[in-house]
């Protein structure tokens, strides 16, 4: 397999990556045939996966605009940020407020390398290679210290990441630790996969989940109640924890693809 010039030397391009699969679903170009093959296998069971990913990205942009325009928040910590594609957080935030500051965090070397290339001329955005499960490492990192003032409200973005954290790794502890480091008036912006809302029989959806298990990146489908637990210590912003396309939508519900209502999205505010 030929290694493209943009691929960091230290990655195994024979192993699929969830961030590169996501990039493929969004129509990006930073993925390998091994990623596309895994994506196509998952789509055999759940053909609407690309639509779910686009609904996720559209919610992210709406939530960023909400943070800037209605809450006056101009600093963003995006953990599990993935490969930067069109309409990413720094573009939406800096369009709404020039000078808005963004730190992206990911543990995928491809995502980090691409983010570095995209952000090289943007003094108000940076990327950090780190793991959600080690919040202290993230909060103490020089990239965060340079751009994020933790004494002022921050928008913490955990978009399409927590469903890759198994119960044994206690994602609730990591999210609570991050919450406790945030100033009053900060926001948690979150999306999470769920069997609820998928317009398919659950055994079909389970086939797609099985593909992620096969590539050793298990997709943990949680219930709405289990997802709501991540918002302990936050006041929910209206309309609460809802299907992604129902959170302050730009388009009429009847104009949306049924897959856009799979999984849940919400925004919470610290008191």
Q: Please report, for the chain, the start and end positions of each structural domain, with discontinuous segments joined by +.
A: 58-200+221-270
Q: What does each C-alpha distance from 67 to 61, 152, 162, 183, 187 come to in angstroms?
A: 10, 13, 21, 14, 8
Q: Write down the CATH number for the domain with range 58-200+221-270.
A: 3.40.50.150
Per-residue pLDDT reduced to its tens digit, 204-245:
999 999 999 999 889 999 999 999 999 999 999 999 999 999
Per-residue pLDDT reduced to its tens digit, 27-50:
998 888 999 999 999 999 999 999
**169: nearest Cα among 199, 133, 142:** 133
Inform me whether the pLDDT recorded for 1 exceeds 70.
no
Inform me whether the pLDDT recorded for 197 exceeds 80.
yes
Residue 12: its pLDDT value, please?
A: 78
By the 8 A CB rule, do 64 and 77 touch? no
Inform me whether the pLDDT recorded for 5 exceeds 90.
no
Strand partners, 187: 155, 269
Residue 203: its pLDDT value, please?
A: 92
Report residue 42 as tokens: 């998952």
| Mean pLDDT to the nearest integer, 50-61 | 96
> Tokens 């969830």 belong to which residue?
18
Cα gap 110→116, rounded to integer Å: 10
Strand partners, 265: 191, 242
Q: What does each C-alpha distance from 87 to 50, 59, 62 come to in angstroms?
A: 16, 11, 11
Q: What percent of the chain has pLDDT over 70?
A: 99
To the nearest whole number, what is the mean pLDDT of the chain? 94
Report residue 164 as tokens: 């890759």
CB atoms within 10 A of CB 180: 10
Inform me whether the pLDDT recorded for 2 exceeds 90.
no
Burial of residue 5, with CB atoms counted within 10 A of its CB: 0-12 exposed, 13-18 middle, 19 or more buried = exposed
Residue 108: its pLDDT value, please?
A: 87
Mode of pairing for the β-strands spanning 75-79 and 125-129: unpaired
| Mean pLDDT to the nearest integer, 37-64 | 96
Report residue 85 as tokens: 């594609």
Which is more confident, 109 or 184? Answer: 184
């Amino acid at each position: 397999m030929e290694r493209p010039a943009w691929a960091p030397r230290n990655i195994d391009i024979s192993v699929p990556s969830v961030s590169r699969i996501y990039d493929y679903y969004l129509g990006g170009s930073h993925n390998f045939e091994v990623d596309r093959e895994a994506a196509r296998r998952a789509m055999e069971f759940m053909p609407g996966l690309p639509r779910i990913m686009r609904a996720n990205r559209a919610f992210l942009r709406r939530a960023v605009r909400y943070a800037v325009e209605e809450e006056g928040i101009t600093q963003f910590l995006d953990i599990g940020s993935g490969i930067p594609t069109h309409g990413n957080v720094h573009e939406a935030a800096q369009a709404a407020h020039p000078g808005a500051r963004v730190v992206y965090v990911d543990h995928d070397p491809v995502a980090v390398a691409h983010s570095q290339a995209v952000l090289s001329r943007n003094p108000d955005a940076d990327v950090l290679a780190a793991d959600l499960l080690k919040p202290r490492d993230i909060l103490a990192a020089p990239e965060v210290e340079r751009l994020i003032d933790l004494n002022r409200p921050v928008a913490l973005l955990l978009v399409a990441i927590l469903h890759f954290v198994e119960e044994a790794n206690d994602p609730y502890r990591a999210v609570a630790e991050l919450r406790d480091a945030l100033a009053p008036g900060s926001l948690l912006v979150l999306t999470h996969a769920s069997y609820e809302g998928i317009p398919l029989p659950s055994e079909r959806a389970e086939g797609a989940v099985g593909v992620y298990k096969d590539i050793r990146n298990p997709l943990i489908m949680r219930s709405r109640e289990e997802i709501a637990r991540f918002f302990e210590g936050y006041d929910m912003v209206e309309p609460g924890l809802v299907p992604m396309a129902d959170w302050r939508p730009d388009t009429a519900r009847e104009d949306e693809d049924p897959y856009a209502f799979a999984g849940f999205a919400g925004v919470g505010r610290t008191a």
